[in-house]
Amino acid sequence: MSEEITLTRDQVDEIGARLEAVRARVVADLGEKDRDYIYSIVKAQRGLEIAGRALMYLSPFPPAWFAAVGALSVSKILDNMEIGHNVMHGQYDWMREPGLNSREFEWDNVCPGDQWKHSHNYMHHTFTNIVDMDRDIGYGILRMAPEQKWNPYYLGNLGYATALMVLFQWGVMLHDLEVEEIVARRRGWKDVKGLVQGMWRKAGKQVLKDYVVFPILSGPLFPLTFAGNAAANLVRNVWSYSIIFCGHFPSGVQTFSVEETANETKGDWYIRQMLGSANIDGNRLFHIMSGNLTFQIEHHLFPDLPANRYPEVADEVRQICEDYGLPYNTGPFHKQLLSTWKKIAKLSLPNWMVSQEPELKVTIERLSAEQAARDALAVTKRPAEVRETVSV
Protein backbone atom coordinates (compact mmCIF):
# COMPACT_ATOMS: atom_id res chain seq x y z
CA MET A 1 0.00 0.00 0.00
CA SER A 2 1.35 3.42 -0.90
CA GLU A 3 0.37 7.02 -0.31
CA GLU A 4 0.65 9.54 -3.11
CA ILE A 5 1.07 13.29 -2.80
CA THR A 6 0.87 15.43 -5.90
CA LEU A 7 2.51 18.84 -6.01
CA THR A 8 2.26 21.30 -8.83
CA ARG A 9 5.40 22.89 -10.20
CA ASP A 10 4.22 26.18 -8.72
CA GLN A 11 3.93 24.58 -5.27
CA VAL A 12 7.44 23.17 -5.56
CA ASP A 13 8.73 26.63 -6.45
CA GLU A 14 6.82 28.10 -3.50
CA ILE A 15 8.40 25.58 -1.11
CA GLY A 16 11.82 26.45 -2.47
CA ALA A 17 11.19 30.18 -2.12
CA ARG A 18 9.90 29.86 1.45
CA LEU A 19 12.91 27.81 2.52
CA GLU A 20 15.29 30.21 0.77
CA ALA A 21 13.66 33.03 2.73
CA VAL A 22 14.23 31.16 6.00
CA ARG A 23 17.88 30.68 5.13
CA ALA A 24 18.38 34.30 4.06
CA ARG A 25 16.86 35.58 7.30
CA VAL A 26 19.21 33.47 9.44
CA VAL A 27 22.27 34.43 7.39
CA ALA A 28 21.41 38.10 7.80
CA ASP A 29 21.12 37.63 11.57
CA LEU A 30 24.42 35.79 12.16
CA GLY A 31 26.63 37.55 14.65
CA GLU A 32 27.75 37.80 18.25
CA LYS A 33 25.24 35.26 19.57
CA ASP A 34 26.56 32.56 17.24
CA ARG A 35 30.18 33.50 17.92
CA ASP A 36 29.64 33.28 21.68
CA TYR A 37 27.89 29.94 21.29
CA ILE A 38 30.66 28.16 19.38
CA TYR A 39 33.35 29.64 21.64
CA SER A 40 31.46 28.33 24.68
CA ILE A 41 31.31 24.84 23.16
CA VAL A 42 35.04 24.90 22.33
CA LYS A 43 35.82 26.05 25.88
CA ALA A 44 33.69 23.26 27.37
CA GLN A 45 35.27 20.65 25.09
CA ARG A 46 38.81 21.67 26.00
CA GLY A 47 37.96 21.81 29.70
CA LEU A 48 36.49 18.32 29.60
CA GLU A 49 39.54 16.94 27.82
CA ILE A 50 41.91 18.48 30.37
CA ALA A 51 39.76 17.17 33.23
CA GLY A 52 39.66 13.70 31.70
CA ARG A 53 43.41 13.57 31.20
CA ALA A 54 44.00 14.79 34.77
CA LEU A 55 41.53 12.33 36.31
CA MET A 56 43.31 9.49 34.53
CA TYR A 57 46.21 9.96 36.97
CA LEU A 58 43.78 8.97 39.73
CA SER A 59 42.56 5.95 37.78
CA PRO A 60 43.65 3.33 40.37
CA PHE A 61 40.53 4.52 42.17
CA PRO A 62 37.64 3.15 40.04
CA PRO A 63 35.33 6.19 40.43
CA ALA A 64 38.12 8.43 39.10
CA TRP A 65 38.71 6.12 36.09
CA PHE A 66 35.01 6.15 35.17
CA ALA A 67 34.90 9.92 35.64
CA ALA A 68 37.95 10.29 33.38
CA VAL A 69 36.37 8.11 30.69
CA GLY A 70 33.12 10.09 30.96
CA ALA A 71 34.88 13.45 30.59
CA LEU A 72 36.99 12.25 27.65
CA SER A 73 33.95 10.68 25.98
CA VAL A 74 31.94 13.90 26.14
CA SER A 75 34.99 15.87 24.98
CA LYS A 76 35.40 13.63 21.92
CA ILE A 77 31.67 13.75 21.15
CA LEU A 78 31.63 17.56 21.27
CA ASP A 79 34.80 17.76 19.19
CA ASN A 80 33.43 15.45 16.49
CA MET A 81 29.80 16.50 16.35
CA GLU A 82 29.06 20.03 17.56
CA ILE A 83 32.49 21.40 16.59
CA GLY A 84 34.19 19.27 13.91
CA HIS A 85 31.20 18.24 11.81
CA ASN A 86 29.72 21.72 11.83
CA VAL A 87 32.94 23.68 11.39
CA MET A 88 33.98 21.52 8.41
CA HIS A 89 30.60 22.25 6.84
CA GLY A 90 31.69 25.90 6.72
CA GLN A 91 29.08 26.96 9.27
CA TYR A 92 31.51 29.37 10.94
CA ASP A 93 33.63 30.49 7.97
CA TRP A 94 31.93 33.91 8.16
CA MET A 95 33.76 34.52 11.45
CA ARG A 96 37.16 34.45 9.68
CA GLU A 97 38.60 32.68 12.71
CA PRO A 98 41.54 30.39 11.69
CA GLY A 99 40.74 27.77 14.33
CA LEU A 100 37.13 27.52 13.17
CA ASN A 101 37.68 27.65 9.41
CA SER A 102 36.45 24.72 7.30
CA ARG A 103 39.59 24.72 5.14
CA GLU A 104 42.00 24.36 8.07
CA PHE A 105 40.13 22.52 10.82
CA GLU A 106 41.15 18.98 11.83
CA TRP A 107 39.19 16.94 14.35
CA ASP A 108 39.96 14.30 16.96
CA ASN A 109 39.21 11.47 14.55
CA VAL A 110 41.23 9.07 12.39
CA CYS A 111 39.50 10.29 9.20
CA PRO A 112 41.36 13.14 7.43
CA GLY A 113 39.22 16.26 7.27
CA ASP A 114 39.69 16.81 3.53
CA GLN A 115 38.54 13.27 2.72
CA TRP A 116 35.52 13.56 5.00
CA LYS A 117 34.52 16.84 3.34
CA HIS A 118 34.53 15.10 -0.05
CA SER A 119 32.54 12.01 0.99
CA HIS A 120 30.16 13.95 3.24
CA ASN A 121 29.85 17.60 2.22
CA TYR A 122 29.95 16.87 -1.49
CA MET A 123 28.81 13.30 -2.15
CA HIS A 124 26.24 12.89 0.62
CA HIS A 125 24.75 16.38 0.69
CA THR A 126 24.56 16.63 -3.10
CA PHE A 127 23.11 13.17 -3.77
CA THR A 128 21.22 12.67 -0.50
CA ASN A 129 19.44 9.29 -0.48
CA ILE A 130 19.85 8.69 -4.22
CA VAL A 131 20.50 4.95 -4.54
CA ASP A 132 23.83 4.18 -6.27
CA MET A 133 24.93 7.81 -5.85
CA ASP A 134 24.84 8.51 -2.11
CA ARG A 135 27.35 6.09 -0.58
CA ASP A 136 26.03 6.92 2.90
CA ILE A 137 23.20 4.51 2.04
CA GLY A 138 24.90 1.55 3.66
CA TYR A 139 28.45 2.98 3.58
CA GLY A 140 29.35 0.33 1.00
CA ILE A 141 28.85 -2.29 3.73
CA LEU A 142 25.14 -2.53 4.56
CA ARG A 143 21.92 -2.93 2.62
CA MET A 144 19.82 0.04 3.77
CA ALA A 145 17.24 0.41 0.97
CA PRO A 146 14.97 -2.21 -0.67
CA GLU A 147 16.09 -0.87 -4.06
CA GLN A 148 19.58 -2.21 -3.39
CA LYS A 149 19.93 -5.63 -5.02
CA TRP A 150 19.98 -8.39 -2.43
CA ASN A 151 22.64 -11.10 -2.27
CA PRO A 152 23.56 -13.63 0.46
CA TYR A 153 26.31 -11.33 1.79
CA TYR A 154 23.58 -9.14 3.31
CA LEU A 155 22.46 -11.92 5.66
CA GLY A 156 25.17 -10.47 7.89
CA ASN A 157 23.59 -6.99 7.89
CA LEU A 158 23.13 -6.90 11.67
CA GLY A 159 26.67 -8.06 12.33
CA TYR A 160 28.18 -5.57 9.89
CA ALA A 161 26.11 -2.77 11.44
CA THR A 162 27.31 -3.68 14.92
CA ALA A 163 30.94 -3.72 13.79
CA LEU A 164 30.49 -0.37 12.04
CA MET A 165 28.97 1.09 15.21
CA VAL A 166 31.88 -0.05 17.41
CA LEU A 167 34.54 1.04 14.89
CA PHE A 168 32.65 3.99 13.47
CA GLN A 169 35.56 6.44 13.16
CA TRP A 170 37.48 3.80 11.19
CA GLY A 171 34.49 3.17 8.95
CA VAL A 172 34.25 6.90 8.29
CA MET A 173 37.97 6.95 7.48
CA LEU A 174 37.64 4.14 4.92
CA HIS A 175 34.47 5.61 3.38
CA ASP A 176 36.15 7.65 0.63
CA LEU A 177 38.31 4.66 -0.29
CA GLU A 178 35.26 2.86 -1.75
CA VAL A 179 36.52 -0.57 -0.72
CA GLU A 180 33.72 -2.33 -2.59
CA GLU A 181 35.06 -0.78 -5.81
CA ILE A 182 38.55 -2.09 -5.02
CA VAL A 183 37.17 -5.58 -4.33
CA ALA A 184 35.33 -5.43 -7.67
CA ARG A 185 38.62 -4.33 -9.29
CA ARG A 186 37.14 -1.12 -10.59
CA ARG A 187 39.67 0.88 -8.57
CA GLY A 188 43.38 0.20 -8.37
CA TRP A 189 46.33 1.37 -6.30
CA LYS A 190 46.91 4.42 -8.48
CA ASP A 191 43.34 5.55 -7.72
CA VAL A 192 43.66 5.27 -3.95
CA LYS A 193 47.36 5.86 -3.25
CA GLY A 194 46.87 9.49 -2.22
CA LEU A 195 43.89 8.61 -0.03
CA VAL A 196 45.77 5.82 1.74
CA GLN A 197 48.73 8.09 2.43
CA GLY A 198 46.42 10.71 3.94
CA MET A 199 44.68 8.08 6.07
CA TRP A 200 48.01 6.69 7.26
CA ARG A 201 49.24 10.11 8.38
CA LYS A 202 46.01 11.09 10.16
CA ALA A 203 45.28 7.73 11.77
CA GLY A 204 48.92 7.41 12.82
CA LYS A 205 48.75 10.69 14.72
CA GLN A 206 45.52 9.68 16.47
CA VAL A 207 46.79 6.24 17.46
CA LEU A 208 50.07 7.74 18.68
CA LYS A 209 48.22 10.29 20.81
CA ASP A 210 45.60 8.01 22.40
CA TYR A 211 47.49 4.74 22.68
CA VAL A 212 51.16 5.69 23.03
CA VAL A 213 51.90 9.25 24.17
CA PHE A 214 49.25 9.76 26.87
CA PRO A 215 49.58 6.21 28.27
CA ILE A 216 53.39 6.63 28.47
CA LEU A 217 52.97 10.00 30.20
CA SER A 218 50.92 8.26 32.89
CA GLY A 219 53.88 5.99 33.72
CA PRO A 220 52.84 2.89 35.67
CA LEU A 221 49.21 3.70 34.92
CA PHE A 222 49.84 2.94 31.23
CA PRO A 223 47.29 0.05 31.03
CA LEU A 224 44.52 2.06 32.72
CA THR A 225 45.14 5.11 30.53
CA PHE A 226 45.27 2.96 27.40
CA ALA A 227 41.98 1.29 28.35
CA GLY A 228 40.39 4.62 29.29
CA ASN A 229 41.23 6.19 25.95
CA ALA A 230 39.92 3.13 24.12
CA ALA A 231 36.69 3.27 26.15
CA ALA A 232 36.21 6.97 25.37
CA ASN A 233 36.68 6.32 21.64
CA LEU A 234 34.17 3.46 21.85
CA VAL A 235 31.56 5.67 23.56
CA ARG A 236 32.07 8.37 20.93
CA ASN A 237 31.77 5.83 18.10
CA VAL A 238 28.55 4.26 19.39
CA TRP A 239 26.96 7.65 20.07
CA SER A 240 27.92 9.17 16.71
CA TYR A 241 26.72 6.10 14.80
CA SER A 242 23.40 6.03 16.64
CA ILE A 243 22.62 9.72 16.09
CA ILE A 244 23.63 9.66 12.43
CA PHE A 245 21.74 6.46 11.59
CA CYS A 246 18.62 7.74 13.38
CA GLY A 247 18.72 10.81 11.16
CA HIS A 248 18.94 8.86 7.92
CA PHE A 249 17.36 5.42 8.15
CA PRO A 250 14.32 5.11 10.44
CA SER A 251 10.92 4.12 9.11
CA GLY A 252 9.43 6.66 6.72
CA VAL A 253 12.70 8.03 5.32
CA GLN A 254 12.56 7.98 1.54
CA THR A 255 15.14 6.92 -1.06
CA PHE A 256 15.25 8.04 -4.67
CA SER A 257 16.44 6.83 -8.07
CA VAL A 258 18.83 8.61 -10.40
CA GLU A 259 16.06 8.91 -12.98
CA GLU A 260 13.50 10.60 -10.73
CA THR A 261 16.03 13.18 -9.52
CA ALA A 262 17.27 14.18 -12.96
CA ASN A 263 16.96 17.88 -13.84
CA GLU A 264 16.11 18.88 -10.26
CA THR A 265 15.29 22.49 -9.47
CA LYS A 266 16.26 23.98 -6.11
CA GLY A 267 12.70 23.33 -4.93
CA ASP A 268 12.97 19.66 -5.96
CA TRP A 269 16.27 19.40 -4.07
CA TYR A 270 14.71 20.88 -0.93
CA ILE A 271 11.85 18.39 -1.07
CA ARG A 272 14.28 15.49 -1.44
CA GLN A 273 16.16 16.65 1.65
CA MET A 274 12.95 16.78 3.71
CA LEU A 275 11.73 13.35 2.58
CA GLY A 276 15.17 11.76 2.98
CA SER A 277 15.81 12.79 6.59
CA ALA A 278 14.43 12.29 10.09
CA ASN A 279 14.65 14.24 13.36
CA ILE A 280 14.97 13.09 16.96
CA ASP A 281 13.03 14.72 19.80
CA GLY A 282 14.95 15.77 22.91
CA ASN A 283 16.04 18.54 25.25
CA ARG A 284 18.69 21.22 24.65
CA LEU A 285 21.59 19.20 26.11
CA PHE A 286 20.65 16.20 23.97
CA HIS A 287 20.67 18.40 20.86
CA ILE A 288 24.07 19.88 21.73
CA MET A 289 25.55 16.43 22.34
CA SER A 290 24.32 15.36 18.91
CA GLY A 291 25.83 18.36 17.14
CA ASN A 292 22.19 19.39 16.61
CA LEU A 293 21.95 16.52 14.12
CA THR A 294 18.78 15.67 15.98
CA PHE A 295 17.50 18.28 13.50
CA GLN A 296 18.69 16.25 10.52
CA ILE A 297 15.91 17.59 8.29
CA GLU A 298 17.00 21.17 8.92
CA HIS A 299 20.65 20.18 8.55
CA HIS A 300 20.03 18.66 5.13
CA LEU A 301 18.12 21.77 4.08
CA PHE A 302 20.71 24.23 5.41
CA PRO A 303 24.04 22.39 5.87
CA ASP A 304 26.10 25.59 6.02
CA LEU A 305 23.99 27.40 8.63
CA PRO A 306 25.30 27.22 12.23
CA ALA A 307 23.63 24.15 13.72
CA ASN A 308 22.62 25.99 16.90
CA ARG A 309 20.08 27.82 14.68
CA TYR A 310 18.27 24.63 13.63
CA PRO A 311 15.93 24.54 16.66
CA GLU A 312 14.63 28.04 15.89
CA VAL A 313 13.80 27.25 12.24
CA ALA A 314 12.38 23.77 12.88
CA ASP A 315 8.84 25.01 13.54
CA GLU A 316 8.83 26.91 10.22
CA VAL A 317 10.08 23.87 8.33
CA ARG A 318 7.43 21.70 9.98
CA GLN A 319 4.75 24.24 9.05
CA ILE A 320 5.88 24.24 5.42
CA CYS A 321 5.61 20.46 5.38
CA GLU A 322 2.10 20.63 6.84
CA ASP A 323 1.00 23.32 4.38
CA TYR A 324 1.84 21.10 1.42
CA GLY A 325 0.90 17.72 2.92
CA LEU A 326 4.50 16.52 3.24
CA PRO A 327 5.61 14.36 6.19
CA TYR A 328 7.88 15.75 8.91
CA ASN A 329 9.56 12.65 10.28
CA THR A 330 10.42 13.03 13.98
CA GLY A 331 10.18 10.98 17.16
CA PRO A 332 11.90 10.11 20.44
CA PHE A 333 15.40 8.64 20.34
CA HIS A 334 14.38 5.13 21.40
CA LYS A 335 11.69 4.97 18.71
CA GLN A 336 13.93 6.15 15.89
CA LEU A 337 16.77 3.87 17.03
CA LEU A 338 14.54 0.79 17.26
CA SER A 339 13.04 1.59 13.86
CA THR A 340 16.52 1.86 12.34
CA TRP A 341 17.73 -1.48 13.72
CA LYS A 342 14.49 -3.14 12.57
CA LYS A 343 15.17 -1.84 9.06
CA ILE A 344 18.74 -3.17 9.16
CA ALA A 345 17.41 -6.59 10.17
CA LYS A 346 14.61 -6.60 7.59
CA LEU A 347 16.90 -5.59 4.73
CA SER A 348 19.24 -8.49 5.47
CA LEU A 349 16.60 -10.63 3.74
CA PRO A 350 15.29 -10.58 0.15
CA ASN A 351 12.34 -8.23 -0.42
CA TRP A 352 9.95 -11.10 -1.11
CA MET A 353 10.55 -12.59 2.34
CA VAL A 354 9.50 -9.55 4.37
CA SER A 355 6.63 -7.09 4.34
CA GLN A 356 7.56 -3.75 2.83
CA GLU A 357 6.90 -0.37 4.40
CA PRO A 358 4.07 1.66 2.87
CA GLU A 359 5.61 3.87 0.21
CA LEU A 360 5.13 7.60 -0.02
CA LYS A 361 5.23 8.76 -3.61
CA VAL A 362 5.49 12.48 -4.30
CA THR A 363 4.52 13.32 -7.84
CA ILE A 364 5.49 16.72 -9.19
CA GLU A 365 3.73 18.13 -12.23
CA ARG A 366 6.21 18.89 -14.93
CA LEU A 367 4.99 22.35 -15.95
CA SER A 368 4.19 25.47 -13.95
CA ALA A 369 0.79 27.11 -14.38
CA GLU A 370 2.49 29.98 -16.22
CA GLN A 371 4.24 27.63 -18.65
CA ALA A 372 1.04 25.61 -19.16
CA ALA A 373 -0.85 28.83 -19.93
CA ARG A 374 1.81 29.86 -22.45
CA ASP A 375 1.64 26.45 -24.12
CA ALA A 376 -2.17 26.58 -24.27
CA LEU A 377 -2.02 30.09 -25.75
CA ALA A 378 0.47 28.93 -28.36
CA VAL A 379 -1.91 26.14 -29.40
CA THR A 380 -4.88 28.51 -29.77
CA LYS A 381 -2.84 30.77 -32.07
CA ARG A 382 -2.08 27.94 -34.49
CA PRO A 383 -4.25 27.28 -37.57
CA ALA A 384 -7.44 25.33 -36.89
CA GLU A 385 -6.28 22.18 -38.62
CA VAL A 386 -3.10 22.16 -36.49
CA ARG A 387 -5.11 22.73 -33.26
CA GLU A 388 -7.31 19.76 -34.08
CA THR A 389 -4.25 17.57 -34.62
CA VAL A 390 -2.74 18.71 -31.31
CA SER A 391 -5.95 18.09 -29.37
CA VAL A 392 -6.08 14.55 -30.66
Q: Are 123 and 135 in contact (CB under 8 A)?
A: yes
Neighbour count for residue 354 (Cβ, 10 Å) = 13
The model's pTM is 0.91
Residue 373's pLDDT band, with cuts at 50, 70 and 90, is: low
For the cut 80, the answer to whether the pLDDT of residue 294 exceeds it is yes
pLDDT, position 377: 57
For the cut 60, the answer to whether the pLDDT of residue 372 exceeds it is no
What values do phi and psi take at 248, rounded to 5?
-125, -25
Domain assignment present for residue 365? The answer is no
- For residues 310 and 315, what is the distance between their CA atoms, to the nearest angstrom? 9
Compute the average pLDDT of residues 82-96: 97
Q: Give the model confidence (pLDDT) of 233-258 as tens digits.
A: 999 999 999 999 999 999 999 999 99
Residue 390's pLDDT band, with cuts at 50, 70 and 90, is: very low
First CA to last CA distance, the chain: 34
For the cut 90, the answer to whether the pLDDT of residue 273 exceeds it is yes
pLDDT, position 387: 43
Question: Exposure string (b/e) for 164-195, b if CB count within 10 Å is 16 or more?
Answer: bbebbbbbbbbbbbbeeeeeeeebeeeebeeb
Average pLDDT, the chain: 92
Residue 374's pLDDT band, with cuts at 50, 70 and 90, is: low
Domain assignment present for residue 377? The answer is no
Which among 41, 347, 85 is positioned nearest to 240, based on CA atoms?
Answer: 85
Residue 179's pLDDT band, with cuts at 50, 70 and 90, is: confident
**Strands 2-7 vs 359-364: parallel, antiparallel or unpaired:** parallel
Neighbour count for residue 365 (Cβ, 10 Å) = 14
Beta strands in 314-374 (DSSP E): 330-332, 359-364
Residue 361's pLDDT band, with cuts at 50, 70 and 90, is: confident
Structurally, the chain folds into a number of domains equal to 1
For the cut 70, the answer to whether the pLDDT of residue 164 exceeds it is yes
Domain assignment present for residue 368? The answer is no
For the cut 80, the answer to whether the pLDDT of residue 58 exceeds it is yes
Domain assignment present for residue 385? The answer is no
Domain assignment present for residue 376? The answer is no
pLDDT, position 367: 54
Which among 125, 115, 119, 121 is positioned nearest to 140, based on CA atoms?
Answer: 119
Q: Give the model confidence (pLDDT) of 7-16 as tens digits.
A: 999 999 999 9
Q: Give the model confidence (pLDDT) of 335-359 as tens digits.
A: 999 999 999 999 999 999 998 777 7
Domain assignment present for residue 288? The answer is yes
Domain assignment present for residue 172? The answer is yes
What's the domain range around 8? 2-353
